[in-house]
Every structure is written in structure tokens, then in C-alpha cells.
Structure 1
Amino acid sequence: MSQLFVASRAALDDASTLIAQFGEDAGFEAAARADRSRDLGNAIRFCHWRQIERLIVLLETDAAVGTVH
């Protein structure tokens, strides 16, 4: 997985909230929210929820990602 840019603390909060509410299905919920935003024509929220989806996948992995010092 390539490096992930986290735009704000709110992105981490949204990811944490979805993980707490949906557990293993948090990524699917983020994808569903992105799809709804796209269907409504809201590109900014679409990108936000896609970022959250990728962030959830990263947070759920046990492996180190990126450069380890």
C-alpha cells in the first residue's frame, strides 16, 4: 500500500468512530458513504469517505507500512 495522506484530525476521528460502530465492516460503511456522496454529486465528501476507507484498512493491518526507522 502506498503512503496515505491524512488531511485532518477529523479524518482520524471519523475512521475511529466507524471502527467502533461497525467493527470489521467499518471499511464497507465508509465505502457506502462515499458512494452516497458521489450519487449526490458531492465530490468533496466522496473523496473524504474514500480516504477514510483507505485509512481504516491501514489501521486494521498488523504489518508496518512505509519506512520503519
Structure 2
Amino acid sequence: MSYLPYLADRGEVADATTLMALFGDDAGLEAAARADESRDIGNYLHFCRWRQIERLILLLSAESAIGTVH
């Protein structure tokens, strides 16, 4: 992953874990679909939010550590 997600508040983490619980391996696809829907109706704030949640889901789903491990 070339960059880490920006999280504006802890609600985004809660949304990511909820999607992961509900959709399993398809959670990232669901977040992307919600981002696309927000973009289509012109809501750029929710579009950006769901894109960051999608990135967070990918990060949380990784099998190995991302970044520096101390």
C-alpha cells in the first residue's frame, strides 16, 4: 500500500469494522460502492469519507504488518 488512510474521527474505524463484520471479504467493495454512490449524487464529503474507509479496510485486512515494525 503506497499510503495510509486519513481518519477524521473514530466513527470511520467503527464503520470499517461494521462493514467487515457484515460483508467479510467484500467489505472493501461495499465501501467503494458507497463512495461511488455519494459521488454520483454530488456529495464529495461522503465520497472522500468512504474512500478513506475503503483504504482502512484494506489496511486492516492485510496479512502482514504495513510500515515499520519496532
Q: TM exceeds 0.5?
A: yes
- TM-score band, normalised by the shorter chain? over 0.9
Give RMSD over aligned pairs.
0.9
Structure 1 gap segments, 5+ residues each: none
Q: Percent identity?
A: 61
TM-score (norm 1): 0.93
Letter of the 2:64 counterpart: A
1:32 deviates by 0.3
Contact residue 3 and residue 66 of structure 1 kept, 8 A? no
Within a 5 Å distance, the mapping from 1:1-69 to structure 2 comes to 1=1, 2-69=3-70
TM-score (norm 2): 0.92
